[in-house]
Amino acid sequence: MKKIIFISLVIACASCNQNNESKALAQEGAVIESHAVHGAITQASFKVRGNCGTCKKTIEQAAKFKGVTFCAWDTLSKLCIVTFDSRATNVGAIQKAIADAGYDNDGYLSGEKAYSQLPECCQYERSSSK
């Protein structure tokens, strides 16, 4: 129960804290926010391209590896929120894993092969830069 409350608070805080400055950073290809939560546990948010519930499932699964304790991607805002142990991984590694699954994000562009293997409903309009 405590974990559910914590996750709900994390998502609510991230939604409330996104301001115009954060939006401008995202458009420039930067991590929107990254901060220590407790000890080595860090939370970060960044934009990930995608379209639908299938994208959500794939993005969240791609981000869940050693050191990542939480990942949620919102289909409307395109915002991905991750919580991770900074002794085991970092934002760049998480973004790379998501790109390897076919999804462009603030840190990495997906390879053409991974993108082309996405279901048709998940193939978003791509730009030539981050």
The number of residues in the chain equals: 130
pLDDT at 18: 35
Q: What is the pLDDT of residue 128?
A: 61
In the chain, what are the domains? 2-122 (3.30.70.100)
Longest alpha-carbon distance in the chain: 44
Say how far apart CA 29 and CA 77 lie, in whole Å. Answer: 15
Tens place of pLDDT per residue across the chain (130 aa): 555 544 544 444 444 433 332 333 333 445 676 667 677 899 999 999 999 999 999 999 999 999 999 999 999 999 999 999 999 999 999 999 999 999 999 999 999 999 999 999 999 998 765 4
Q: Using a CB cutoff of 8 Å and minimum separation of 24, what contacts does 58-63 make?
A: 58/101, 58/102, 58/103, 58/118, 58/122, 59/98, 59/101, 59/103, 61/101, 62/97, 62/98, 62/100, 62/101, 62/103, 63/94, 63/97, 63/98
Q: Tell me, what's the pLDDT at 30?
A: 57
Whole-model pTM: value is 0.73
Side by side, which strands form the sheet with 68-73? 33-38, 41-47, 79-85, 68-73
pLDDT for res 32: 74
Report pLDDT for 33: 67
